[in-house]
Structure formats: C-alpha cells, structure tokens
Structure 1
Amino acid sequence: MTTAAMDLRLAVISDGFPLWPLHIAKSSGLFAAEGVNVAITVTGSSAKQMELLDQGEFDIGIQLPDHVVRAVSHGSDIFAFMAPVHAADISLIAKPGMHSLADLSGRTIAVDGAKSGYALLLRRMLRAQGISDADCPLTEFGGTKERLDALTDGRADAAFINPPFDKKLLAKGFVRLTSTLEAFPDYPGPVAAARRDWAASHEEPLLRFVRAYRKAFAWIADQGNRDAAIKIACDRLPVDQEMAAAAWLDLSSRPAPVLCAAGLQQVVDVVWDSDGLPLPKPNADKFIDLRYLENAPLR
C-alpha cells in the first residue's frame, strides 16, 4: 500500500542560485522519494515571512540567521535546524571610480533590509573605517534583482550583489570593494527554521525534508547529473547555461553546508550589539536544535 505524501509549506524570501539544491530536490524527485510534497512560496519580505512562519501560515522558512535570532529574542518559538545554503561569498560592488570602503562615506548603499544580516555586517565594516551610520545611510531596495537594478541605473552607489551576478557587473567596469567571506569568514549563511511546537508534532515529515535536502547536495556533486542540474537551474532560475555551468563547478566541489553553534554565536553577537538588547547575551543553543539533522542520516 502506497503511503500518501506529506505536505509541507516552505517560505523563501527570494529565489536564486543559493536555493538551487531546493529546486534539485523538487525537480529530480528527491522530495517525492522521501514522501513529502513541498509547496514553495516566495514571500519577498523577511519581516513578512517571519510573521507568517510564527503564525503557522508556513511550516518551514529559509532566511538569514539574524532573522531567527531577532524573532526568538522577541518571544518567538522558532528555531533553526539546518543550513540549506552555503554562506555565500557576496561581493560589495561599487560604481566605477571607487577604490575602498572609505569612498562610501556620504554615498547611497542598497540593501535588502536595514537590519538584515548582511546590512549589519556592512555596518561593522563601515564603522571600522570610521564611517558612522549618519555618514552612510543604508537604503532598502529589496532582493538581489532590485539591488542590481538600483546599482546599474544609478540610484545606488554600492550594494551587496550575490554571485554570479557580481561577475557580470565587474565585466562592465564596476568595482569589488570586499566580500562577506573576506570580512567575516565564519559567519553562517541562511538557515532553515520552524516553530518548535510544529516540529515536535511533525517530526517525520521534517526528517524526510532534511534527508531529501541533504541528498540534493550529493546529487549535484555527481558528475553524471551535471547536465540535468544545469537544465533545472536554467528552467527554474533567471540564469543562462554559462552562469549555471560556472555555479555547478563551484557547488559540486564543496561539501554540504553545516550549521553549528559557534557560527551562530557570531550572529547572536551582531544582533545583540546592533539592537542594544539586554544582557546577559544568550548562548547560541537557544536558537538551534540539531536533533533533526542528526536523526536524518542519508540512506
């Protein structure tokens, strides 16, 4: 007797190459093989996504870890259980003629959200150069596409741009000032999160989701799946074959991303310092639970 697939409602803020494994798991049948049917919704807003996740409109959300830390600090029951995405080496791209972070004083910098993880990291970079928040306002434009548009049409002077789009800007004469991995090598990438009460009552579908997602990284790394992986990227994401092939070469050579308490503690530190939250600062264990990852070995 065939068991009916378990439905999962997944929220993502924006789509793009970092979520390639998600599309692999869905399009190649890995989710189906684990008996889960994953419905993906692009919310377009971190604030909206966290609110709807907390209200039970979604079962799982993929977002930067600072959103989870901040939500929990304000009483949310959400926790991070997996790293579904590598910490991207996101380039800080500026208009031609700029040469260093010091050149950003008095300029307009495009960000997704003024209190998002990468914006907070950018603030740290600028303060280290003696540039105050007042000297360099961060302007909210939205996701990668919106920031890219703002930079190319002149509304912004600099922006964090995800790969592989940063390379296209560099080819047009734009300048790379630094990157997230250069400045913060241990800072984690996006995390998958859920409510603790939902996870406790839906352990089986959650374990199946984790297992299928982990299998997607192994599937991508298989040379025999290269062409199929590139086709899925071109079908699902706003990329061409050349971009997809370059991204496959990078992703297939890397181990699956890992979520750990030490990395998340950096996120806690950034959020606590930037938001002025009351001490004592909590341990990272308050925001994660790795049991589901440990209980979903590949088979």
Structure 2
Amino acid sequence: MKRLTVAVVSRNYFNLPLWIARTAGLFAAEGLDVTIDHIEGIEEVNARLRDGRAQLAYGVTEHVILDAEAGGRSAIIGGNVNKLPFSLIARPGIEGLEGLRGKRIGVSSLRAGSSSLVMKLLAARGLNWPTDYELVPCGPILARWDLLRSGGIDAGLQGTPLNRIAMEQGFVSLCEPRDEVPHFQFTSLDTQLDWASANRDTLLPFLRAFLRAHERFYVEREEANAVAVAETGIEMRHADLAWEEYTRDAIFPRDGEVSAAGVQALIETSALIRDLPSRARAQAEDYIDRSWLAEARASL
C-alpha cells in the first residue's frame, strides 16, 4: 500500500468526498493508505503542504494564489467547495449588514479565506475594515460557531448545515453570500507540483478514487448522509439538508473539476481587498493544473 497524507481543515462538511472515499474503500481499492489529517487552522494546512508533511490538501484556494505569486510551487488540481455554502450568521438583535458597524466578525484568517469575502460584502454597504468593524481571526467554521455561541464574536460565516442549525437556535442570517457572489472557489484540492511530478504512481490512483467519490456522493444519498453524521456528529436531518443543497447547487463538483469562474472571482476579490491590483489581471487557469485529473479520468 502506498501511503500519503491529505491535510484538511477541521471536521466540517467540506471533507465529505474524502471521507466517502475512505469509508467506501475507494482508496484501498487503488492500493492507497490515506491519512486524512484534520487540522484546526487554515494557515497550518497550507504550511504542511508546503513543507511536505502533507502531500495533498483541501486548502483555502487563496493560499495557492498567494503562494504562486511568491514564487512557490503550489497548484490547484481539483475542486472542492466550488460555490459558497455559507450564510453570514449574527447574534439576535443585529439587523442587516449595516448592523455590523462596530461589531466583531469572526474569520478563518486575516491573510486569506473568509476575510476577503467578508470585506467585499461589507464594503458594498459602505463598511470598511478596520475602521468600521473588527475582524477576529478565530479559525474555521466550528471555532467560529463556538465563539458566536459564547459571545466572543457578533457574527461570522457559517457553512451548511451549521447555518441552518444556528438559525434554529435563534441566530439570524444577514445575507447569503452566494446570492451576491455566485461563483467563488473557496477551497480546492491542492498539491505541490514537484511532489506531483515525482509521485505520479501515487497521485493518479488517488485521483481515480477522488473522482469516484464525487460521483458516489451524488448517487448514494443515504451513504453520504451516514458518513456525514458519523464524521461530524450532526443530526441526520441536517446531513440531508446539506446533501440537497450541495447537489442542487453543485457546490461539490460532480466531475471533480475546479471552477475557472470561481477562481477568477476569488482572484479579483482578493486583489481588490488586499491591494494587489496586478492579481486582478491574472487568469484563473494560471493557477490550475488540470492535466492530472484528466489523466486519472482517462484511466478509469
């Protein structure tokens, strides 16, 4: 069995295709022993991919762009969260995005990820960081949920199904970012190109299992829901709500591919927010290597 490690962010629904591949024996069928390393912190996921502790990652796509601009060898080779499955959830009593003036908003990191999206949404309402609100780097979705419930933050993006759970508990949704930004590559399957080139006989079997897992997610509803419940601890009804949204809106790509439109939207949002206007002239495909997935698909 060939061994490899995939770094992922926390135990959230985003990881479901990998969990399905492991539970259904798709990795084992390809002769792979895959460790899924759940990490609380998006910066650490990126660091482990760069230094080789992980060979693949479900990482925040903006990190790949930042790394490539700095001369790194990171590349996007597959999709993950190709559209935004979020609501901007706030504590009761806050009304509208304008109600976030002077408030504390939880984000995964100040450097990349949810912070760019929050800044873009609020700038459209005349609220600018850092003068009009505070961003609190508190880690991924589960950490933001804990802080929202404890009062440590006033608002934060929550992904399906935690957004639905939050509203059931009396929290309010200020907006659905996907309504305003229909295409946005939030996370993707990433690797280092040097590792990929040197380990073709490991990467291609992994990608075959990756492709099969995405198709299986769409056609095996009960199995997908059972895996989600076992891995995240959510209730079955919430797992089913998530499955409906993710399949209806193609949040997980059925073909495993990254969204060029989603990456382009991310580039332009990040360039606007992070004062790197040259990045807005870059093309999405500059950061994507589709050859690996194409070769794996041809060998199925």
TM-score (norm 1): 0.91
Q: Distance in 2 between matches of 1:87 and 1:41?
A: 24
Q: Distance in 1 between matches of 2:106 and 2:159?
A: 13
1:180, distance to aligned residue in structure 2 (A): 2.3
Deviates further, 267-276 or 10-19 = 267-276
Letter in 2 for 1:165: L
Question: Equivalences for 1:1-299 in 2 at 5 Å?
Answer: 5-133=1-129, 134-222=131-219, 225-253=220-248, 254=250, 256=254, 258-277=257-276, 279=278, 281-297=281-297, 299=300
Q: Distance in 2 between matches of 1:94 and 1:261?
A: 31
Letter in 2 for 1:144: I
Structure exhibiting the larger radius of gyration computed from Cα positions? 1
1:201, distance to aligned residue in structure 2 (A): 1.1
Per-residue CA deviations over 1:97-122 (Å, capped at 9, x if unaligned) read 22211111101111111232221111
TM-score (norm 2): 0.90
In structure 2, do the counterparts of structure 1 residues 199 and 99 end up closer, same or farther at CA, with 3 Å as the change threshold? same
1:171, distance to aligned residue in structure 2 (A): 1.7
Q: Distance in 1 between matches of 2:275 and 2:186?
A: 23
Percent identical pairs in the alignment equals 28
Q: Distance in 1 between matches of 2:241 and 2:278?
A: 45
Per-residue CA deviations over 1:183-228 (Å, capped at 9, x if unaligned) read 2101123111111111111123212111211211222223xx4433
Q: Distance in 1 between matches of 2:285 and 2:223?
A: 38
Which contiguous aligned blocks of 4+ residues in structure 1 show a shift greater than 6 angstroms? none
Does structure 1 conserve the Cα–Cα contact (< 8 Å) formed by 2:82 and 2:258?
Answer: no
Letter in 2 for 1:189: F
Does structure 1 conserve the Cα–Cα contact (< 8 Å) formed by 2:185 and 2:263?
Answer: yes
In structure 2, do the counterparts of structure 1 residues 205 and 85 end up closer, same or farther at CA, with 3 Å as the change threshold? farther
Does structure 1 conserve the Cα–Cα contact (< 8 Å) formed by 2:7 and 2:48?
Answer: no
1:148, distance to aligned residue in structure 2 (A): 0.9
Aligned residues: 293
Per-residue CA deviations over 1:52-110 (Å, capped at 9, x if unaligned) read 21122211011121111111111211100000334232000112122211111101111
Deviates further, 56-65 or 281-290 = 281-290
Does structure 2 conserve the Cα–Cα contact (< 8 Å) formed by 1:84 and 1:213?
Answer: no
Does structure 2 conserve the Cα–Cα contact (< 8 Å) formed by 1:69 and 1:287?
Answer: yes
**Which runs of 5 or more structure 1 residues have no equivalent in the other structure?**
none
Does structure 2 conserve the Cα–Cα contact (< 8 Å) formed by 1:64 and 1:117?
Answer: yes
**Which runs of 5 or more structure 2 residues have no equivalent in the other structure?**
none
In structure 2, do the counterparts of structure 1 residues 125 and 230 end up closer, same or farther at CA, with 3 Å as the change threshold? closer
Q: Distance in 2 between matches of 1:278 and 1:188?
A: 19
Q: Distance in 2 between matches of 1:279 and 1:142?
A: 28
Does structure 2 conserve the Cα–Cα contact (< 8 Å) formed by 1:10 and 1:59?
Answer: yes
Alignment RMSD (CA, Å): 1.9
